[in-house]
A and B are shown apart, each in its own frame.
With several copies, the nearest count.
Chain A
């Protein structure tokens, strides 16, 4: 539908034959229902059209006839889009009410002024609706991103880098403390700094033996590292043996000692 003029008079053709023109009053011939629903946004819209196009005085519509027509119409449309007919019927009812009130003398208000014109509320609504109709058209005329102009977006080749959580030593300490608090003296912790080195060396030795081959005992020691380190390595090896993590072999007295990880033993 064209957005610049909603109420262009449209004509309905059925099988090439002109069926009808747009309504001349608030009555919608059942044949024209589809067309009217498509063309008008509702009874206010139709009313505005009638006022603007046909110079129709809304109160000049023959109300009795209109009512009769609507009731028949509603009967016919019982199963079909009744809710839409209801909106038009409501409008007709409102017009009838206004007309009947216009026929009655208006009570004078205190101060001698006339009471409110019964048409005022309808007029206010029609004006408000017409204002919005115009605003909608103006909004549609504003340049819209993607429709009337394009937004610039230049590529940036971000090296896709998955953000990994960072942790600090302190967090690790807190985590450990948390475990200990929960374990609560399940056993007495007399772990010392030195033992940590032993544990580290245990891991180191296992890593060296990962190949599964026998490794000469001496190869696991690095003289350069100094005596404390050598001792730690030796203790680590004993600890590993105690935990059945490695196998130590010496085929003859004073012969070479070989070490391999016990995983290799069982893999055989």
Chain B
């Protein structure tokens, strides 16, 4: 600002802009947030916390219209993508949605069409033992739940489908499931064809 200081001011400005450039790069490559103590190591001449914070503010301002922003977290400063771009980034390397096994699907179908059913009912219909994992998978998904017990020896739990199940399959009620009648006909046709 004053005439006498000009020669060194220029240097100082050049140094600070160089420091800012390096700090920005360090923040972009660092896997962890950078605390002030670390940031200080990047400067060739000692800097005060206030000086560093001023540079950090400048960088944050430079980035304010970008989809990545400079943020301060407990352990220091870091860049991060703004949440709004996540949807776009999710388009890259999308994972294939997993699929349920036939055993899970059949169990669900039995619960849906025959509810309330016990595990024994399911086993009888499928003709094979039902692993507890299958029921747990469907319960964890909140698609089936225990709604009571049958008053028979062992008092087995009765499973039924949930509202969540209907919501997730976009049904207003169980009556919107494909009619069994239809399936029955189809089956009879199949059986007839085989005979």
Residue B91 interfacial (CB < 8 Å): no
Measured CA separation A182–B110 after assembly (Å): 13
Chain B residues near A202: list those with CB within 8 A: 115-116, 160
Interface contact A184-B191, CB-CB below 8 Å? yes
Chain A 115-139 residues near chain B, CB threshold 8 A: 119, 123, 125-139
Nearest neighbor of A155 in chain B, beta-carbon distance = B80
* Given the contacts A139-B112, A193-B179, A243 and B150 also touching, CB distance less than 8 Å: yes
Q: Mark A138-154, 1 if CB is under 8 A from B, else 0.
A: 11101111111111111
Contacts of A156 in B (CB 8 A): 29, 80-81, 85-86, 89
Number of contact residues on A: which range applies? 35 or more
The SS class assigned to the A binding surface is helix
* Residue A181 is within 8 A (CB to CB) of chain B in the complex: yes
Complex CA distance for A84 and B127, rounded to whole angstroms? 11
Contact: B178 with A138, CB < 8 Å?
yes
Supposing A55-B193, A206-B147 touch, asked if A168 and B116 sit within 8 A by C-beta, the answer is no
Segment touching A, from B1-9, B36-44, B50-58, B97-105: B97-105
Choice from A148, A172, A174, A183 contacting B86 with Cβ under 8 Å: A148
A245–B29 Cα gap in the complex (Å)? 57
- Indicate whether A251 reaches chain B with its CB closer than 8 angstroms: no
In the complex, residue of chain B having the shortest beta-carbon distance to the beta carbon of A262: B151
Q: How far is the CA of A115 from the CA of B85 in the complex (A)?
A: 58
Residues of B within 8 A of A190 (CB): 184
Smallest CB–CB gap between B68 and chain A, Å?
6
Residue of B whose beta carbon sits closest to that of A178: B106
Smallest CB separation, B188 vs chain A (Å): 8
Q: Check A245 against B116 for contact (C-beta < 8 Å).
A: yes
Number of interface residues of B (CB under 8 A): 75
B180's contact among A84, A144, A183, A193, by CB below 8 Å, is which? A193
Is B45 engaged at the interface, CB distance under 8 Å to the other chain? Answer: no
Q: Are A179 and B173 in contact (CB under 8 A)?
A: no
B126, B129, B184: residue with the most chain A Cβ atoms closer than 10 Å:
B126
Note all chain B residues with C-beta closer than 8 A to A150.
Answer: 25, 29, 80-81, 86, 89
Q: Which residue of B lies closest to A201 (CB)?
A: B174
Among B129, B148, B175, B183, max chain A CB count under 10 A is at B183
Given contacts A51-B190, A87-B128, A131-B181, contact A155 B89 (CB under 8 A): no
Binary A-proximity of B153-195 (CB < 8 A = 1, otherwise 0) = 0010010110000011111011111111111111100110110
Q: How far is the CA of A44 from the CA of B183 in the complex (A)?
A: 15
Name A59's closest neighbour in chain B (CB-CB).
Answer: B187
Task: Please give the distance in Å from B121's CB to the nearest CB on chain A.
Answer: 11
Q: Which residue of B lies closest to A169 (CB)?
A: B169
A131 with B183: CB separation less than 8 A: yes
Interface string of A232-246 (1 = CB under 8 A from B): 000000000001111
**Residue in contact with B183 in the complex, picked from A127, A143, A147, A245, CB distance below 8 Å:** A127
Whole-angstrom CA separation of A170 from B150 in the bound complex: 30
The answer to whether B47 has its CB under 8 Å from any CB of chain A is no
Query: In the complex, A261 Cα to B177 Cα: how many Å?
Result: 27
Q: Could you say which residues of chain A place their CB within 8 Å of the CB of B173? A: 197, 200
Within 8 Å of chain B (Cβ to Cβ): is A189? yes
In the assembled complex, A33 has its CB within 8 A of some CB on chain B = no
Give residues of chain B (51-105) contacting chain A, Cβ–Cβ below 8 Å. 68, 78-83, 85-86, 89-90, 95-103, 105
User: For residue B29, which residues in chain A have a CB less than 8 angstroms away from its CB?
Assistant: 150-156
User: By CB atoms of chain B within 10 A, which of A150, A155, A246, A263 has the most?
Assistant: A150
Which chain A residues numbered 173 to 230 have a C-beta less than 8 Å away from chain B? 173-185, 189-193, 196-197, 199-200, 202-203, 206-207, 209-210
**B interface residue numbers (CB < 8 A to A):** 25, 28-31, 68, 78-83, 85-86, 89-90, 95-103, 105-106, 108-110, 112-116, 125-129, 141, 147-152, 155, 158, 160-161, 167-171, 173-187, 190-191, 193-194
Interchain residue pairs A-B with the least CB separation, the first 7: A203-B160, A42-B128, A44-B127, A152-B79, A244-B151, A150-B29, A175-B105
- Would you mind naming 7 contact pairs between A and B with Cβ atoms under 8 Å apart? A149-B80, A155-B80, A177-B187, A178-B102, A185-B191, A193-B179, A202-B115
